[in-house]
Structure formats: structure tokens, C-alpha cells
A = this chain, B = another copy of it.
């Protein structure tokens, strides 16, 4: 199945320029990719003038309606049929495209994708999964990052399965090391939902993961596990704390380097080192948050992603399509019935805001 990717050309801080640039770079890396570019035809055509290679592999679907950054999910849902974001998702639903990529409003994208594509069989709730840098060579997967404010044990077990299959596909691990985010490592720690989820994962023997028990938030970046599973509230808190602190420390470092002439000179000399750091932390190298658990692949690119970042998000989308993530998650669930796991019926209280 050759990936044909629907691109919401209007989403993100810079819209057409970056989205088309990213698609063109992905196409440059993978000749077999084709695209449906959704948005303002005039702007897209202009943009394609710089990318003949992409033009040759793309169709344009014109629309003038755009989901705004400040639109609430309920407002955005009214734009399901006509906005660039909505039409990109509809193209996945109809089977015209195999995946959609958008850098637009996350809450809106989640709501639209869930409504149009529906949750896949065996999964109660979709989750938002992202890749994060670690001290090791490969990134780790963390989910949920804000799709579900409150989760029961069954949700967490399903997230663990989806995250493990995602990690298998993206990094090729046979049995990704998987941990549940908690405030301590002993069995007695945390909420009932987390403890019940841990008990179920510990008891399961043929899941595609090594279950490593609980992991604390200070260990996330160390690369001790490949998948960190959590509810959307804690996941969003952890993710934003990670991002905020990385920025905080680099800001402090910058300020320190400017504190004296000697430090400024040292900075210039050690530039390769700080560039290496910058490269490692650059979100564009880890771009593409995925909605797992839907009947279709939808990838959220960071709102401020660069062309390279968008290209990476497109690659992630294509990879998930080519490796049949939905079917592979379904296959695991065939052998492992999660419906017996405690569900305490907590309600979702709206979705978190994924960092742009």
C-alpha cells in the first residue's frame, strides 16, 4: 500500500510554506509517497512552484475554511465538513488517503478525528502519543498526553498495548520495555487505576512488551524504558514540565554565557557543543504526535515545527500506514481481552491542550 497522505496545508504557525516544504522533503526522501494537499488552492499552487517534485505527486483539494488556534473543539467540530483539517480527516475516512497530517489546533484535531474515524474495535479511548528525546540513541514513546483527563485501569492497559506496538513499528524493538508513570516504584504506590493496570500487565504473558512496572518522572529522559504509559492529565503535566525545564535550563545557560566576556569567548569556542545539545533537544527531530486507537492514522505536527519537523511527521504517518498499526493493535487485542480489566467508569472531562 503506497502511502497517500492528506496534508492540512493551512495548519501550524506558518501554514502553507512549512507544510508544503515538509511534504516535499518527505517526498524527496521517499519517492513512493503521494499527497492530497487540502487548503486554499491559490496559496497551495503558488507554494508548489518551489516544489515541482511534490507537485508531480499531489492533488489539491480546495477549501477556504480554516480551523483557528483559538477555536474550541465544539466550534471546530462545526468545521468538520469544510475546513482544511476536517477535509483531510474525511479523506482518511473515505479511504481516499491512508493518513492525515495537521499542524493545527490539537483539541480540534482530536475531536474531529475521533468523531469521523471512530475508536477502533477493542479500544475504549484513543490516546495521544509522542516521541521524546532520551540520553540513549533512540527516542521513547509517551502516552496519553492529553486526550483523556481521567483514565481507568482498562484504558491504561490499552494505552500500554498501543504504545508498545507504536514503538515496535517506529524503532523495531521486538518487546519494547514499557512502564507505568507513578510517584514511586513500590506496588502500593499511586491510584487504584494505576495499581490495577500494573497487576493486569504483570499477569499478561504474551503481550508485545516487557512490562517494567512503575517508572518515576525523573527517569523518563534516561531511556530506561521505551514506552511510558499514563493518563492524559499526568502525561500532559509531565510532558510540559519536561519541555519547560529543557527551555529553562538552556535559557539559564544562555544567560550565564553572557555574564562575562570570558564566558562569551568560551561560548564561541564551545559552540559545536551547544549546537549538539540544541540538536538533541530540537523538537523537530522528535516531531509527530500520533492519535492511537482510531480507525485510521492521524498525526499532529507541532504548530511551530520546521520543514524538517513536518517531513518527520509525514514519515511517521507513512510508516504507521505501511506497517498497518491499526491491524497490529487489533491482532494483539484478539489474543488479550481487556474487557475483564477493572473499569471504574471515570468520565473524560474534556481534553488537555497539547503544547503547540
Contacts and interface: CB of A to CB of B under 8 A. Distances in A.
Q: Is the interface of A mostly helix, strand, loop or mixed?
A: helix
A233 B353 contact: no
A216 B240 contact: yes
A350 B182 CA distance: 12
17 contacts: A135-B251, A135-B252, A189-B350, A217-B237, A217-B239, A218-B244, A221-B245, A233-B234, A237-B238, A241-B245, A256-B280, A257-B273, A259-B273, A265-B270, A266-B267, A269-B270, A270-B270
A68 B355 CA distance: 41
A277 B253 contact: yes
Given A192-B349, A233-B183, A252-B281, A272 B245 contact: no
B272 A260 contact: yes
Contact of A218 (B134, B183, B240, B251): B240
A249 interface: yes
B269 A269 contact: yes
A243 to B, nearest CB: 5
Interface in A59-93: 72
User: How often does this chain occur in the complex, in copies?
Assistant: 2
A73 B182 CA distance: 18
A2 interface: no
**The 3 residue pairs across chains A and B that have the minimum distance between CB atoms:** A266-B270, A218-B244, A183-B352
Contacts of A146: 183
A258 to B, nearest CB: 8
Nearest to A149: B191
A270 B267 contact: yes
A179 interface: no
A48 B266 CA distance: 44
A217 B238 contact: yes
B262 A352 contact: no
A277 B256 contact: yes
A4 to B, nearest CB: 34
A263 interface: yes
A134 B262 CA distance: 25
A236 interface: yes
Given A217-B241, A249-B249, 8 more contacts: A149-B191, A181-B237, A186-B353, A237-B241, A253-B274, A253-B277, A266-B270, A269-B270
A32 interface: no
Interface in A241-299: 241-253, 256-257, 259-260, 262-263, 265-274, 276-277, 280-281
